Amino acid sequence: MEISGKIIQVLPERGGVSQRSGNEWKVATYLLETMEQFPKKCAFEVFGSDRIAQFNIQLGQQLTVSLDIDAREYNGRWYNQIRAWKVAPYDPTAAVPAAGDAGLGATPQTAPFPPADAAAPAAAPSADVAPMPAFNGESNDDLPF
């Protein structure tokens, strides 16, 4: 999933040493705000000191972030994890995703319905379709409406 917006907050890095492997780890968390009429906020993480340095995300940057979303259970509660795997500078001229792929910060390329002024001419009725009988106020079905 991709999201575009402006970095509005950079949280302090967290780190530690893995109990399983003994290797050191680092995670940086960022808050991105979309550039829509009604902006949305998304907190995401970058895992690993090499990726943190590679992405070099700074406060105020406009970015397009590719995210991987996952959830995990711990003691009967569920927690979401949103991690960035690709970060690129925001390009407003880039191709807009199709309507089915639209994520936060994205707008569909085509509207699901054509504009009212672009209505197509009505097709002629088919010859094998019988006209509906006139309604006389009585009905044969047992529906309550």
Going along the chain from its start, the domains and CATH numbers come out as 2-106 (2.40.50.140)
User: 91-145: per-residue pLDDT in tens?
Assistant: 888 755 544 444 454 444 444 444 555 555 555 555 566 666 665 666 666 666 5
- Cα–Cα dist 31/42, whole Å: 6
CB 47 within 8 A of CB 83: yes
Q: Averaged over 49-62, what is the pLDDT?
A: 94
CA dihedral 81, 84, 85, 90 (to 10 degrees): 150
61 vs 132, higher pLDDT: 61
Q: Where are the strands (E) in 2-112, listed by range?
A: 2-10, 14-17, 24-34, 41-47, 62-74, 77-89
Strand 14-17 vs strand 24-34: parallel, antiparallel, or unpaired?
Answer: antiparallel
- pLDDT reported for residue 83: 96
Token pair recorded at residue 63: 């970015």
Backbone angles phi, psi at 63, to 5 degrees: -135, 160
Alpha carbon distance 132, 89 (integer Å): 59
pTM: 0.62
Cβ atoms of residues 97 and 109 within 8 Å: yes
Interval 20-34 mean pLDDT: 94
What's the pLDDT tens digit per position in 62-102? Answer: 999 999 999 999 999 999 999 999 999 988 887 555 444 44
Retrieve residue 45's tokens.
């993480």
Place of tokens 């070099």: 56
